[in-house]
């Protein structure tokens, strides 16, 4: 089942189910008006949403309409909680080597995670509006899970049962602002502006065999200004999503609608490219002695997509430009 949120003039949008081929959609507001409402009542809502999706995919929905990703908001336009991990250790290892950083104690056993701001997510075609190119504008391709209510102290195996939907995100980062915020020990704020989501939130069964061990076993295709940038594989997560959810829930409950991110998708094989500019720059520093690639400029375009074995986009594509804030 694929779900999306369409713009309707409200903050939380209109929930719709979307056909597997992304061509058509059906209004789901008679079942749940928003995705937040759906996830809070998932046990009773999911069977009804699936029935609607089956009807749509069978071509039996007379009131279906064309799905336009440009009209989609983030699937969950605002979340009560957004926690982002760093589950691909190859990314951290590259940063550590390039910048001669001290190793983080226990990083192989305990996931890194920060609590981000979830009040203003962007849609897949929305412009990324920022004040200055000097802030080091970067994209970061990640996978994300959406959970229902998770009890405190939930084990990783149990946590997998609370993962109801999977999403894909461009976690926009401002690299010039990040070092100071990291040194304070308080975590990111200004360095993490509004993130952008692919238009669809999908149930794990939509991934078929590509969803196993709490990982998305597919490459994330990334293009920058229409040029290939990378296709790192999501299966190389060092921590599963079950482990990430359990980590976040160690000392507190997680409310339904909490989003947990994988961190930048990264592979040890450098031929896979990268899902963020900072990683490419780190590789250049290691191999060439200095970074050669600059960060994004106003007018630049970033595209991300994940294709299934049939070549069909699973989450819908992210396709957006960076523009300068006015005034």
Q: How far apart are CA 322 and CA 179, in angstroms?
A: 22
Between 46 and 96, the more confident residue is 46
Q: State the pTM of this model.
A: 0.97
User: How many CB atoms are located within 10 Å of the residue 127 CB?
Assistant: 14
Task: Please say whether the beta carbons of 189 and 178 come within 8 A.
Answer: no
Q: Which residues contact 72 (CB under 8 A, 6 or more apart)?
A: 4, 5, 6, 7, 123, 124, 125, 199, 316
Please say if the pLDDT value at position 308 is more than 80: yes
Task: Please say whether the beta carbons of 236 and 220 come within 8 A.
Answer: no
Please say if the pLDDT value at position 327 is more than 80: no
Helices 89-98 and 277-288, interaxial angle, to 10°?
A: 50
Residue 26, token pair as written in the block: 């059906």
pLDDT at 121: 98
Task: Please say whether the beta carbons of 275 and 230 come within 8 A.
Answer: yes
Q: How far apart are CA 122 and CA 139, in angstroms?
A: 13
Q: How far apart are CA 123 and CA 101, in angstroms?
A: 35
For 117-153, write each residue's pLDDT tens digit: 999 999 999 999 999 999 999 999 999 999 999 999 9
For 261-302, write each residue's pLDDT tens digit: 999 999 999 999 999 999 999 999 999 999 999 999 999 999
């Amino acid at each position: 089942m694929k779900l999306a949120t369409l713009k309707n003039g409200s903050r939380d949008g209109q929930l719709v189910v979307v056909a597997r081929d992304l061509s058509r959609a059906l209004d789901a507001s008679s079942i749940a008006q928003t995705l937040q409402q759906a996830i809070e009542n998932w046990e009773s809502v999911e069977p009804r949403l699936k029935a609607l999706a089956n009807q749509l995919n069978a071509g039996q929905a007379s009131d279906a309409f064309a799905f336009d990703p440009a009209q989609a908001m983030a699937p969950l336009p605002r979340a009560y909680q957004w926690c982002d991990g760093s589950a691909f250790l190859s990314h951290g290892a590259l940063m550590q080597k390039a910048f001669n950083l001290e190793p983080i104690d226990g990083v192989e056993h305990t996931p890194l995670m920060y609590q981000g701001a979830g009040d203003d997510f962007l849609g897949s075609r929305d412009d990324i509006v920022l004040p200055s190119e000097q802030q080091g504008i970067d994209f970061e391709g990640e996978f994300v899970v959406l959970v229902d209510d998770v009890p405190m102290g939930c084990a990783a195996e149990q946590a997998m049962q609370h993962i109801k939907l999977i999403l894909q995100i461009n976690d926009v980062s401002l690299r010039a602002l990040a070092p100071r915020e990291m040194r304070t020990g308080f975590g990111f704020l200004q360095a993490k502006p509004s993130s952008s989501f692919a238009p669809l939130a999908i149930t794990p069964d939509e991934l078929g065999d590509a969803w196993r061990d709490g990982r998305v076993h597919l490459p994330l295709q990334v293009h920058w200004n229409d040029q290939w940038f990378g296709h790192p594989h999501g299966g190389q997560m060092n921590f599963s999503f079950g482990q990430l959810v359990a980590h976040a829930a160690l000392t507190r409950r997680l409310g339904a609608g909490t989003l947990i991110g994988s961190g930048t998708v990264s592979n040890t094989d450098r031929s896979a490219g990268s899902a963020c500019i900072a990683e490419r720059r780190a590789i250049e520093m290691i191999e060439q002695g200095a970074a050669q690639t600059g960060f994004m400029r106003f007018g630049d375009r970033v595209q991300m997509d994940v294709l299934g074995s049939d070549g069909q986009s699973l989450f819908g594509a992210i396709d957006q430009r960076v523009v300068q804030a006015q005034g």
